[in-house]
Amino acid sequence: MNKLRTGAFHTGMILLSLLWLGPVLWVVVMSTRSFDDIAAHGVGSLPRSFTLDTYRQAWTDGGELRALINSMLVTVPSVALSLGLAAMAAFALSRFRIPGRRTILLLMLAGNLLPPQILLIPVAKFSELTGLYDTLWALIAVQVGFGLGFYTFVLHGFMRDLPGEIQEAATIDGAGTAQIFTRVMLPLTRPALAALGALSFTWIFNDLLWAITVLRTDDNMPVTPALLALQGQFVSSWNVIAAGTVIAAVPTVAVFLRFQRHFVSGLALGAVK
Amino acid sequence: MGALGASSFLSACASSASGPTTSNGSGAVTIQSNLSSPQAKAAMEKLIETFNAQGKGTASLNTIASETFRTQLPTYLTSANPPDLYTWYAGSVANDYASKNLLLDVSDVWKSLGDYPQSLRTLSTDASGKQIFVPMNNYWWGFFYRKSNFAKWGVQEPKTWTDFLALCETLKSKGIPPIGIGLGDTPWVASAWFDYLNIRINGAPFHRELLAGQQRFDDARVKAVFTRWREALPYFDPKGKAYPFQEATTALLAGKTGMFLIGTFFADAAPKDALGDLDFFRFPIIDPAVPLAEEAPTDGFFASAKTANPTGTRALLSYLSGVEAQEAYVKASSGIVLPANPRAKASDSPLVVKGKAMLNEAKELTQFFNRDSSDALQPTADTALTKFIDKPDQIDAILREWQAGAEKVFKG
């Protein structure tokens, strides 16, 4: 009976992971097929050709290097800035008796519940008013602004549960507020920061909507709109797009592998009191 | 992590500092282009390079994914500091923007385009009588087929609707779905059938009035279009509802369908070795008394009324409409397109020669459903036509709904 259950469990899980990996494998296989093969037999057929030239095409003709640099120029500062600001806000809201702190927190979270689509035109117009339209600054500002509410909420929950005695001990030892924040709170919040960092990196790196809203020059486009630009008006080279997608997935996968440990423990830490 | 963030932050600052000052005074003319397929993009890059080398001004090309471009075009045009020049479609879509005073008057450019056909001039003129568009090229629609397959099946190109139905019957008896179509993801392909049947039965002027809201979709004349269509409906490939036109192309080339009413752009989705085997025939004549019209969507450029450098923009437009630039574009882009300039030579492949002759014979040219009306009206057509193909019995109700949907669009 027990053996049967283990067997069923494993078969089930194998099938489930195949379901999960199927599309990824499909993209990888497609990226090695030639255009004529896809044109003659359709995107869904088994591969009848093998080429790695698609990767060269995506890299040079598709301008993916430039796009990846743009993505990093936006993602790294956005993650650092939004997590830094969110940590400060969460510290203040969770450890001090600021009047109306609950309302402030709920207001920040409420902003996240708005569908971003209704804010597209205001954001485009506002970035034009401030003269930031079509610069990477605009994208960084938007990403920081939209991430802040959620990050603060998560970090607030985490910091609130840290024992108050630690803070009191630091105060008795003569530490000021700034010192408590940088030398006591931040190191203790590290698991949560690492988890949020990995998450926000993926979100910002994979964002398409805001990029095409505030940017219009192809040299400024991050990697997601650049992938979209590989599509033609009527006909697309799916093999090149697949190759570009594989390349674009590398940074996020790398970040996840690096922060994997924190990611799992960080999420669990916030959950149990 | 912190140090890395700080240094990237600084370099982000440095790289974007030159961003907002792209178009001031006599600076480079920016072209916002939706020609994002690799060949077309390369062709445009080459043209701009040549223009810059000539020393009459400088231009910079900005290629945006065509789908992004389509949704963002109104934002580009209405922004405070818009790009100067745009690739887009001639006809009512351009006139729409012109009526909102967003487009630059390019009548000056047209003074040197005296030998362009009157049809293109009319197409590029807005309601107030000034030219706002400069055409670059156009292409045609037709029933495409593989020569080797038609020979194998022993069938000929039909001329009239009766011939056409007979051909369909022959193919069907051989077990081949006669008419390919691809409506999944690309339901607009069905509009070609509507356009063609309407211009063959009721003529191009009625078609344009209908699309401009001056006639009704529940008119008896529109119903006549669908009565004809029903005669051909049993011959449609039943699988065509499920896949997009790109896969319908694959099916046609593999001999799984007989023929396919489509624009020449579909050839981009064909493997190179199949191109020589392709041929087409014109949409069959239904009523010989109706003046012959063909669909010939025209692509080209318009400029923003707010451009900071109108002289440079016009200079670039003059260059792009010249023989040299148009021939270079046709040669470099893989698509089967005809240059707008009558003195520019098109590619001399038999297919292009035949297509050009067909358009020259036509008394009138139409653009395509969305280009002759608006992108807002297109979804109403998609809904009505897919419904008709599914349930042809309900045509009266479908046309009533279409009319109601269209009225909403025209009211704005």
pLDDT tens per residue across span B350-385: 899 999 999 989 988 999 999 999 888 999 999 999
Query: Who's near B57: CB < 8 A, 6+ residues apart?
Result: B28, B29, B51, B312, B315, B316
Nearest to B9 among A77, A212, A229 (CB): A77
- Please give the Cα distance from B263 to B248 (Å, whole number): 13
Interface test mutation site (partner A, options B34, B61, B79, B136, max chain A beta carbons within 10 A): B79
Any A CB within 8 A of B21 CB: no
What does the domain layout of chain B look like in residue ranges?
25-139+298-344, 141-295+364-411
Cβ count within 10 A of residue A270: 16
Any A CB within 8 A of B252 CB: no
Query: Who's near B67: CB < 8 A, 6+ residues apart?
Result: A228, A231
- Please give the Cα distance from A151 to A135 (Å, whole number): 25
Cβ count within 10 A of residue B279: 18
Tell me if A216 and B268 make a contact (CB, 8 A cut-off): no
Any A CB within 8 A of B334 CB: no
Tell me if B36 and A81 make a contact (CB, 8 A cut-off): no
Helix (H, G, I), strand (E, B) or coil at B146: strand
Instruction: Please tell me if the domain spanning B25-139+298-344 has the same topology as the one spanning B141-295+364-411.
Output: yes
Which residue in chain B has the smallest CA separation from A40? B250
pLDDT value, residue A60: 85
What is the distance in angstroms between the CA of the first residue and the CA of the last residue of chain B? Answer: 52
All residues of chain B having their beta carbon less than 8 Å from the beta carbon of residue A124 are 75, 79
B88-102 tens-digit pLDDT: 999 888 998 999 999
pLDDT exceeds 50 at position B21: no
Which residue in chain B has the smallest CA separation from A235? B269
Q: Is A43 exposed, middle or buried (CB count within 10 Å of its CB: 0-12, 13-18, 19+)?
A: middle
Any A CB within 8 A of B9 CB: yes
User: To the nearest whole angstrom, how far is the Cα of A170 from the nearest Cα of chain B?
Assistant: 25
The arrangement of secondary structure in B141-295+364-411, i.e. its CATH architecture, is 3-Layer(aba) Sandwich (3.40)
- For the entire predicted model, the pTM comes to 0.81
User: To the nearest whole angstrom, how far is the Cα of B221 from the nearest Cα of chain A?
Assistant: 32
Give the mean model confidence (pLDDT) for residues A189-217.
Answer: 91
For residue B180, what are the β-bridge partners?
A: B260
pLDDT value, residue B10: 35
Look at the domain B25-139+298-344 and name its fold.
D-Maltodextrin-Binding Protein; domain 2 (3.40.190)
- Please give the Cα distance from B123 to B90 (Å, whole number): 6
Task: Write the DSSP assignment of B33-59 as a string of letters.
Answer: E---SHHHHHHHHHHHHHHHHHTS--E
Phi, psi of B278 (to 5 degrees): -85, 145
Per-chain mean pLDDT for chain B: 89
Residue A40 to residues A44, A45, A143, A228, Cα–Cα distance (Å): 11, 10, 42, 23
Interface test mutation site (partner A, options B24, B35, B85, B246, max chain A beta carbons within 10 A): B246
Helix (H, G, I), strand (E, B) or coil at B88: strand
Nearest to B65 among A76, A137, A225 (CB): A225
Closest CA to B314 of B29, B44, B80, B99: B29
| Ranges A36-40, A234-238, B197-201, most confident | B197-201
Residue type, B28: A
Residue type, B411: K
Task: Give the tokens for residue A43.
Answer: 């995107």
B285-300 tens-digit pLDDT: 999 999 999 999 999 9
User: To the nearest whole angstrom, how far is the Cα of B66 from the nearest Cα of chain A?
Assistant: 5
pLDDT value, residue A267: 54
Nearest to A77 among B5, B22, B254 (CB): B5
pLDDT exceeds 50 at position B18: no
Closest CA to A261 of A197, A162, A190, A195: A195
Q: What percent of chain B has pLDDT over 90?
A: 69
Helix (H, G, I), strand (E, B) or coil at B60: strand
The four Cα atoms B87, B92, B94, B95 give a dihedral, to 10 degrees, of 170
Interface test mutation site (partner B, options A57, A72, A234, A237, max chain B beta carbons within 10 A): A234
pLDDT exceeds 90 at position A139: yes
Cα angle: A196, vertex A251, A157; to 5 degrees: 0
CA R_g for chain B: 23
B210-259 tens-digit pLDDT: 999 999 999 999 999 999 999 999 999 999 999 888 889 989 999 999 99
- Please give the Cα distance from B93 to B96 (Å, whole number): 5
pLDDT value, residue B296: 93
Which residue in chain B has the smallest CA separation from A41? B250
All residues of chain B having their beta carbon less than 8 Å from the beta carbon of residue A41 are 250
All residues of chain B having their beta carbon less than 8 Å from the beta carbon of residue A235 are 37, 246, 265-266, 268-269
Query: Who's near B276: CB < 8 A, 6+ residues apart?
Result: none
**Polymer length in residues for chain A:** 273
User: To the nearest whole angstrom, how far is the Cα of B142 from the nearest Cα of chain A?
Assistant: 16
Tell me if B38 and A237 make a contact (CB, 8 A cut-off): yes
Nearest to A136 among B12, B35, B268 (CB): B12
User: To the nearest whole angstrom, how far is the Cα of B216 from the nearest Cα of chain A?
Assistant: 31
pLDDT value, residue A232: 77
The CATH homologous superfamily of the domain defined by A53-271 = MetI-like (1.10.3720.10)
A211 and A222 Cβ atoms separated by less than 8 Å: yes
